[in-house]
Amino acid sequence: MTMLPERAPGAKRLGLVIDLDTCVGCHACAVNCKEWNTGGEAGILPDYDKYGPEPDGVWFNRIHSYETDGQGCSRTVNVPRSCLHCEDALCVTVCPTGASYKRVQDGIVLVDTDKCIGCQLCSWACPYGARELDEEAGVMRKCTLCVDRIYDEHLPPAEREPACVTTCPSRARHFGDLADPDSKVSQLVKERGGVDLLAGLGYRPTNKYLPPRRATIPTAPAKPPAPGGKGIGAALLGLLDKALSR
Amino acid sequence: MRPAASVLLLTTATGFGFGLLAWLGAYSVLGLLPGHARVLIAAGVATSLLFASFGLGASMFHLERKERAWRAFSQWRSSWLSREGVAAVLTYPVAIAFAAVFWRDGPVIWTRLLGATALVASLGTVYCTAMIYASLKPIRQWHNRHTAADYLLYAVFSGAVLFATLRTLDLGAPGATASAAAAAAAGIALIAKRAYWRHIDAQTPLATLAAAIGLPKGIEARPLDAPHFTENYILRQMGFAIARRHAVKLRRIVLIIGFALPLALSILAGLTLAPMATTTLAVACTGVGLLLERWLFFAEATHVSAVYYGRRI
What ipTM did this prediction achieve?
0.94
Contact status of B276 with chain A (Cβ, < 8 Å): no
| Domains in chain A, number | 1
| Interchain contact, A118 vs B64, CB within 8 Å | yes
Tell me, yes or no, whether A227 lies in a domain. Answer: no
Average pLDDT over residues B270-298: 96
Domain limits at A31? Answer: 14-210
> Helices B145-171 and B261-270: crossing angle, nearest 10°?
30
Say yes or no to pLDDT of B213 above 70.
Answer: yes
Query: Are the beta carbons of A117 and B72 closer than 8 angstroms?
Result: yes
Grade residue A246 by pLDDT with cuts at 50, 70 and 90: confident
* Closest-CA distance of chain B to residue A127, Å: 5
Strand partners, A133: A140
For the four alpha carbons of B57, B63, B67 and B68, in that order, the dihedral sign comes to: negative
- Using a CB-CB cut-off of 8 Å, the residues of chain B touching A119 are 62-64, 72, 81
- Looking at residue B243, its pLDDT comes to 79
Say what the pLDDT of residue A225 is: 67
Quote the CA–CA distance of A107 and B124 in Å, as a whole number: 34
Q: What is the CATH number of the domain that holds A25?
A: 3.30.70.20
Range in A91-100, B54-63, B216-225 with the lowest mean pLDDT: B216-225
Strand ranges (E), A90-242: 100-102, 109-111, 132-134, 139-141, 173-177, 208-210
Residue at A219 is within a domain: no
User: Which residue of A59, A125, A197 is in closest CB contact with B213?
Assistant: A197
Bridge partners (DSSP) listed for residue A66: A77, B223
- Per this entry, what is the length of chain A? 246
Residue of A63, A65, A121, A72 lying closest to A93 (CA atoms): A121
Min mean pLDDT across A36-50, A190-204, B149-163, B185-199 is at: A36-50
Chain A, nearest residue to B216 by Cα: A211
Mark which residues 24-63 of B lie under 8 Å from A by CB: 62-63
At B81 the pLDDT is: 97
Residue A48, SS3?
Answer: strand
Q: Is A7 part of a structural domain of the chain?
A: no
Evaluate whether residue A222 is within a structural domain: no
Say how far apart CA A207 and CA A190 lie, in whole Å.
13
pLDDT for B37 equals 87
- Which residue among A56, A68, A76 places its CB closest to the CB of B232? A56
Give a yes or no: residue A121 inside a domain. yes
Whether residue A219 is predicted with pLDDT greater than 70 in this model: the reply is: yes
Judged by CB atoms closer than 8 Å, whether chains meet at B227 and A30 is answered as yes
Is the predicted pLDDT of residue B132 greater than 70, yes or no? yes
Residue B199: HSE in the Cβ half-sphere, 13 Å Cα cutoff: 17
Q: Shortest CB distance from A201 goes to which of B137, B218, B230?
A: B137
pLDDT digits (tens, 9 = 90+) for B175-204: 999 999 999 999 999 999 999 999 999 999
Q: Helix (H, G, I), strand (E, B), or coil: what is residue A19?
A: strand
Whether residue A245 lies inside any domain: the answer is no
pLDDT band of residue A218 (cuts 50, 70, 90) is confident
CA distances from B65 to A177, B155, B236, B280 (A): 35, 29, 20, 37
Task: Report the C-alpha gap between B27 and B41 in whole angstroms.
Answer: 10
Q: Distance between CA atoms of B53 and B47, rounded to whole angstroms?
A: 10
Task: Report the pLDDT averaged over residues B238-250.
Answer: 88
Of B137, B220, B230, the CB nearest to A69: B220
- On whether the CB atoms of residues B200 and A41 are closer than 8 A, the answer is no
More confident residue, A222 or B37: B37
Distance between CA atoms of residues B94 and A10, nearest Å: 48
**B 235-254 → A contacts, CB under 8 A:** 237-238
| Mutate: best of A67, A75, A94, A133, partner B, most B CBs <10 A | A94
- Put simply, whether B81 touches A (Cβ < 8 Å) is yes
Q: Name the percent of chain A lying above pLDDT 70.
A: 96
For A31, the enclosing helix (H) or strand (E) is helix A28-38
d(CA B313, CA B303): 6
Question: Does A5 map to a domain?
Answer: no
Nearest to B224 by CA among B308, B303, B302: B308
Among the ranges given (A72-76, A163-167, B68-72), the one the predictor scored with the smallest mean pLDDT: A72-76
Chain B residue numbers touching A138 (CB-CB < 8 A) = 64-65
Query: A126 in a domain, yes or no?
Result: yes
Amino acid of residue B157: F
